[in-house]
């Protein structure tokens, strides 16, 4: 375990250090390194602004998907000014209240509890079953057939969501929860070119924006290719060939089993 993801500082941040951290990793949470299938649902590629940086995202099912599995609210895309200059990206006191949908099923419920126990054991965030709090995250069941997940990024106030499918792994549940605490994907760190190479020619048509650097954040700790927030080597591959290699061109193997030490250190830097 030695990782350090990237933390994202949002301009929205207060006190100059209230950033959203970003680690990195995949968009689809397949456990096998297979390519993500192209979506056939109606979706539209759009340009927008996130924390002052021009970004490309996908509008689908009324939601704004960034880097594959991160959902941005319209408010986050509009910027803090619309909200009166105040916006939070970190959960107050590191307390994250949650609910689990009643139709989640025991398999996913067990994975969620496992992941929550790991957050509560290793990080300074505290995941607490909701009683009557108005600001919380709901784990919802996306579908019985997929292995994808998505989550809102950082703390937004009100009800926010982590969506999980039937075949998602515990490691990918931890990954989606990483977005909830404020982490983005490791391969979008500003310094990533020192550590990885993006093979643009192998990326599916129209998906290259998922590999754009996100420079409005703060990279916390060293780049960690094993981070739970890393993409798979063949994420969005159009031909089964790698879309990400090490900077020297050699391949890397990636198994999203859970936290690395660097991931834990990063989260704890965000939530001291
Ligand atoms: Zn992700």
Distance 261 CA to ligand 1 centre (A): 18
pLDDT tens figures, 235-268: 999 999 999 999 999 999 999 999 999 999 999 9
Question: Which pairs with CB-CB distance under 8 Å and at least 24 residues apart come from 249-256?
Answer: 249/197, 252/225, 254/33, 254/225, 254/226, 254/230, 255/171, 256/25, 256/26, 256/29, 256/31, 256/169, 256/171, 256/172, 256/175, 256/228, 256/230, 256/232
- Tokens 């398999």 correspond to what residue? 107
Find the mean pLDDT for residues 21-29: 41
Distance 225 CA to ligand 1 centre (A): 14
pLDDT tens figures, 52-94: 888 999 999 899 999 999 999 888 887 654 443 334 589 999 9
pLDDT tens figures, 40-55: 557 899 998 888 888 9
Distance 82 CA to ligand 1 centre (A): 26
φ/ψ of 264, rounded to 5, equals: -65, -45
Distance 105 CA to ligand 1 centre (A): 22
pLDDT tens figures, 102-137: 999 998 999 999 999 999 999 999 999 999 999 999
- Tell me, what's the pLDDT at 5? 52
Q: What residues are annotated to the active site?
A: 176
Q: What percent of the chain has pLDDT over 70?
A: 81
Distance 28 CA to ligand 1 centre (A): 7
Domain boundaries along the sequence of the chain? 6-270
Domain at 6-270, CATH from 3.40.50.10470, 3.90.1150.10, 3.20.20.80, 3.40.390.10 = 3.40.390.10
- Tell me, what's the pLDDT at 216? 83
Residues with CB under 5 A from ligand 1 (ion): 69
pLDDT tens figures, 147-184: 889 999 999 899 999 999 999 999 999 999 999 999 99
Distance 104 CA to ligand 1 centre (A): 20
- Mean of pLDDT over the chain: 84
């Amino acid at each position: 375990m030695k990782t350090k993801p990237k933390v994202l500082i949002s301009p929205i941040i207060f006190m100059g250090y209230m950033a959203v951290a970003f680690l990195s990793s995949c968009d689809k949470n397949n456990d096998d390194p297979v390519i993500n299938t192209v979506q056939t649902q109606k979706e539209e590629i759009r340009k927008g602004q996130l924390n002052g940086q021009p970004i490309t995202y996908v509008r689908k099912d009324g939601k704004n998907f960034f880097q594959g599995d991160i959902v941005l609210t319209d408010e986050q895309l509009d910027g803090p000014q619309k909200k009166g200059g105040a916006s939070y990206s970190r959960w107050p006191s590191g307390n994250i209240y949650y609910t689990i949908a009643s139709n989640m099923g025991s398999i996913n419920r067990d994975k969620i509890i496992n992941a929550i126990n790991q957050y509560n054991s290793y990080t300074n965030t505290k995941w607490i079953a909701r009683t009557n709090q108005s600001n919380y995250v709901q784990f919802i069941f996306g579908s019985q057939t997929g292995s994808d997940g998505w989550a809102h990024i950082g703390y937004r106030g009100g009800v926010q969501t982590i969506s999980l499918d039937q075949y998602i792994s515990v490691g990918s549940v931890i990954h989606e929860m990483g977005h909830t605490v404020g982490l983005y994907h490791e391969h979008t760190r500003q310094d990533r070119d020192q550590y990885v190479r993006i093979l643009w020619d192998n990326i599916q048509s129209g998906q290259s924006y998922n590999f754009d650097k996100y420079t409005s954040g703060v990279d916390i700790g060293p780049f960690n290719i094993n981070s739970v927030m890393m993409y798979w080597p063949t994420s969005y591959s159009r031909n089964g060939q790698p879309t990400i290699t090490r900077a020297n061109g050699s391949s890397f193997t990636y198994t999203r089993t859970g936290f690395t030490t660097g991931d834990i250190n990063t989260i704890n830097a965000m939530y001291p």
